[in-house]
Amino acid sequence: MKSAKLLLLAALALRAETYYVNVAGLGGSPDYEKQFTGWASELDRELRANGPASHVITLTGTSATRSHIREELSRLAGEVRADDAFALLLIGHGTFDGVDYKFNIPGPDITASELASLLNRIPARRQLVVNMTSASGASLAALAKKDRIVITATKSGNEKNATVFARYWVDALRDPAADTDKNGAVSALEAYRYAEQKTAAYFDTEKIIATEHAMLSDDGSANGVRDPKSERAQGLLAAAFPLIRPQADIAKSATPEKQKLLAKKEELEARIDRLKYQKAALAPDEYKQQLTALLLELARTQAEIDR
């Protein structure tokens, strides 16, 4: 019965329109500002590649304000149909004061409760929220709802370090390895598992204590799980929510050359993250010189991947 329901949900998902709102919040420093904006731009590009059935709105920099977020979500409440799908993706820093989770954006921050209220007005029965910020685990209780998939980069509001989950979430949309069932599509569940495993591997490889543990809830529960089990009715909605559709052109991404470039990109990004951890121990000029060289090499590698 669960398999039949899953197949029906997947079939409906592939026929409907999907609306995405990507928001990159404040970086707090030029390094993070550039990183967050870059990830949001890459998400925008990958999602638009799905074709005209995907409607993508990306807010970065001075556009990513509370008023603009409210304006876009309110507008979509009158545009999106019940049979459509909707996704909100948040990149950046978040905070938790023990009571409220807040997404850090230019001007007044926006709370998880406020976001939930805005999302509740959007008619789409299939909704996805991917909160990739620090302290994002604290937003899960407010955002969780029946028929809504909620993914957070951290397990609680106490995991306050800048996250790397967003980087791997973006990678999941273009790395053929994320498509574990080899059906040509990448579902929210496949992207979650890919990003969660890559994040855990990153901390293991760097031999540093993991400061983030991703969670998923798609059964209405305010308590997410790290490893969704289908036999417990966990991950079913996420498995039926396609992010990259079969008609998207991903064949060229599977070439050995592209795989090498993706591996090089991952290595460069890991080196950049490692350098940020070492920043306090380096002279400012040395840090800037090393970071600039890595960012230039990363940009050249990304250009090769996108070619």
Quote the CA–CA distance of 165 and 157 in Å, as a whole number.
Answer: 15
**Domain 2-249: which CATH class?**
alpha beta
- Residues 6 or more apart from 92 whose CB is under 8 A from it? 23, 24, 25, 26, 27, 32, 36, 103, 104, 105, 132, 133
Residue with tokens 């990830």: 39
Q: What's the pLDDT score for residue 292?
A: 85
Q: What's the pLDDT score for residue 182?
A: 87
Residues 140, 215: contact at Cβ < 8 Å?
yes
Residues 127, 120: contact at Cβ < 8 Å?
no
Using alpha carbons only, what angle is made at residue 203 by residues 105 and 195, rounded to the nearest 5 degrees? 60
Residues in the chain: 307
The domain segmentation of the chain, as residue ranges, is: 2-249, 255-307
Q: What's the pLDDT score for residue 184?
A: 84
Quote the CA–CA distance of 106 and 25 in Å, as a whole number.
Answer: 7
Residue 90 in 3-state DSSP? strand
pTM above 0.85, yes or no: no
Per DSSP, helices labelled H in the chain are 2-15, 30-48, 66-77, 112-120, 140-143, 165-172, 188-206, 236-239, 256-277, 284-306
| Structure-token pair, residue 301 | 């590698």
Tens digit of each residue's pLDDT, the chain (307 residues): 444 444 444 444 445 799 999 999 999 999 999 999 999 999 999 999 888 889 999 999 999 999 999 999 999 999 999 999 999 999 999 999 999 999 999 999 999 999 999 999 999 999 999 999 999 999 999 999 999 999 999 999 999 999 999 999 999 999 999 999 888 889 999 999 999 999 999 999 999 999 999 999 999 999 999 999 988 889 999 999 999 876 444 444 456 787 778 778 777 877 877 777 677 778 888 888 888 888 888 888 878 877 7
- Which helix (DSSP H) or strand (DSSP E) does residue 174 occupy? none
**Total Cβ atoms within 10 A of residue 16:** 18
